[in-house]
Amino acid sequence: MPKISRFLFAAVLLLSGLTLPAQAALKTGDFALDFKLADLQKNTVELSAYRGKQPVLAFFWTTWCPYCRRALKDINDLYPALAAKGWEVLAINTGEPAQKVQAFVAGNPLSFKVLLDENMSVSNAYDILGVPTYVVVDKNGLVAFDDNYFPEQKIRELTPQ
């Protein structure tokens, strides 16, 4: 969701008398919030395990989102080159049951880790308001990018030559 849409969403809530929970939104340059999520094989993946080792592209998505489906295919095509350059991709499914995600991945094989955020705790912590959302975490664990489009330029900047 573009930044202006987030503003409009908040404005509608304010005008309707509702309020957003008090939560500081993650900004570029902040330390990425650590999380532990299960992958489709029930292994625990922890974001902090990559700190000091390699940058991470965290991709928040759902099975019902047509833009997410297209992005997953594009990321899957790029993954061998990204992995060769030291990147890890974590596809974080937002709010769907494991069975639904497993069925989707069975029909659309993916080369990178698919994580389950069934209760949306990580998505909420990262202030994900729409999908697809890309979050780039640099090698030092800092948020380097957070938006709804593929961060091609940021990946180029953070990839050693």
Exposure on the CB side of residue 60, measured as CA atoms within 13 A: 24
Q: Is residue 90 part of a domain?
A: yes
Q: Is residue 1 part of a domain?
A: no
Q: Is residue 127 part of a domain?
A: yes
Provide the residue range defining the domain that includes 39: 26-158
Beta strands in the chain (DSSP E): 36-39, 44-46, 56-61, 88-94, 113-117, 133-137, 143-147
Closest among 120, 121, 119, 153 to 134, alpha carbons compared? 153
Q: How many domains does the chain have?
A: 1
Contact between 131 and 68 (Cβ < 8 Å)? yes
Q: Is residue 2 part of a domain?
A: no
- Written as six digits, the tokens of 56 are 């991470």
Burial class (CB in 10 A: 0-12, 13-18, 19+), 156: exposed
Contact between 158 and 139 (Cβ < 8 Å)? yes
Q: Is residue 61 part of a domain?
A: yes
- Written as six digits, the tokens of 30 are 């902040």
Q: Is residue 9 part of a domain?
A: no
d(CA 34, CA 1): 23
Q: Is residue 10 part of a domain?
A: no
Contact between 129 and 10 (Cβ < 8 Å)? no
d(CA 57, CA 43): 19
What CATH number is associated with residue 123? 3.40.30.10
Q: What is the pLDDT of residue 45?
A: 98
Taking the chain (161 residues) in runs of 10, the rounded mean pLDDT of each run is 45 40 68 97 98 97 98 98 97 98 98 98 95 97 97 93 72
Q: What is the pLDDT of residue 125?
A: 95
Count the neighbouring beta carbons within 10 Å of the beta carbon of residue 113.
17
Q: Is residue 14 part of a domain?
A: no
Q: What is the pLDDT of residue 25?
A: 67
